Amino acid sequence: MKAYLDIVKKVLENGEKVATRQGTPAYTIAGAMFEHDMSKGFPLLTTKKVPFRLIATELEFFINGITDKKWLIDRNNHIWDEWASPKKAPYGHDEISKKKMLEERDLGPIYGFQWRHFNAKYENYDSDYTGKGIDQLKKLIETLKTNPRDRRMIVNAWNPLQLEEMGLPPCHYSFQVTTINGKLNLMWNQRSVDTMLGLPFNIASYALLLHLLAKEAGLKEGKLVGFLADVHIFENHIDGAREQLSRDPDKYPLPKIETENWKSIFEWTAENTKILNYESYPKIPFEIAI
C-alpha cells in the first residue's frame, strides 16, 4: 500500500533521532495520517508478509475483553508474551524483571477490558466482570443499528484511572465509527506508532474490525483512517525499512477477506474469517522493542 510506504518514507526523510523508553534510539516525526478505501481490497501489506492469523486472534481477544495472555499462547499467538500486569510483574529491562513479565499471565485492564468493561474495578484475569463497567463496544453496536448517523460512536481504551495497572498503556487508544450513505467508516487514534513492526498490524486489525462491524450492521465497507501521533522507526529497523521501500507495492494486488458462519460480532472467532488470494514479498524480520 502506497499510503503506508509514504509514511515510512516520510519518517526516514524527516525523522529526528530521539531516545526511547526501550533504550533503542528512534527516528521520529510528529503526526501522520493513514487512509484506505476498503473497496480497493483488504489492507494487508504486500511489500512484506504479514501474519493475518495473529492479527485476527488478537482482535478476538480484544472483542471478548480477555486479559489472560495464556489465551493467546494457547492459540500459538505470542505477540503479548513479554508484557504483564505491572502490579504483579513490574516493568524492567533487567533479566529478572523480564523473566517475571514473561511468566506472569495477567495483562491487567488492557484494550479489550476497556472496550467491554470500561473502568470496572480490575481484580484478576479470571474474575467474572459480567455487567461491570461500561460495555462500550455493545453500546456502539446498539447505536449503529438504531441511529447509524450518530456522531458519538466512540470506543476509548485510554483510561487514566487504570493506566498504572495495564501491562502496556494503549498505543491505539480510541476508535470512532461514522456512517455516510450506507457505508461504515472507521477512524482510529494512536499515540505511539512503531512504523515497521506495529503499524502494519494496527492497519489490518482495524480494517478487520471495520469489516466485522459493517457485517453486524448490514452496511457496506467505507474508509479506514488512522490519526497517528508519535510516528517512529527504531534505529535497528532502518535497514528493513529501506528494504521495504525498494519493493514494488503494485507487484501484488491487495487480498480480499471473507467471513463465514456469521452470527454476530460477539460470537465471531478468528477462524471464521479467511484471507483470499494473499501474495506478498518475503517477511522482513524486525526485532521487537520492549
What's the pLDDT score for residue 146? 97
Residue 54 host element (H or E): helix 52-63
The one-character DSSP state at 161 is T
Q: 14-42, pLDDT tens digit by residue?
A: 999 999 888 889 999 999 999 999 999 99
Q: Angle, to 10 degrees, between the axis of helix 199-217 and the axis of helix 52-63?
A: 60
- In the numeric block, which cell numbers belong to residue 145? 443499528
Which residues lie below 8 Å from residue 74, measured CB to CB, with a gap of 6+?
Answer: none
What's the pLDDT score for residue 65? 98
CB 258 within 8 A of CB 276: yes
What's the pLDDT score for residue 290? 59
**Euclidean distance between the first and final Cα of the chain, in Å?**
27
Query: Which residue type occupies 61?
Result: F
Classify residue 93 as exposed, middle or buried by CB count within 10 Å of its CB (0-12, 13-18, 19+). Answer: exposed
Q: pLDDT under 50 in the chain at which residues? A: none
The catalytically annotated residue of 12, 134, 163, 171 is 171
CB 64 within 8 A of CB 110: no
Return the CATH number of the domain spanning residue range 2-52+135-276. 3.30.572.10
Domain boundaries, the chain: 2-52+135-276
Sign (positive or negative) of CA dihedral 19, 22, 26, 29: negative
Query: Which residue type occupies 98?
Result: K
Which residues lie below 8 Å from residue 77, measured CB to CB, with a gap of 6+?
Answer: 53, 54, 57, 58, 61
3-state DSSP assignment of residue 141: helix
Annotated catalytic residue 30: no
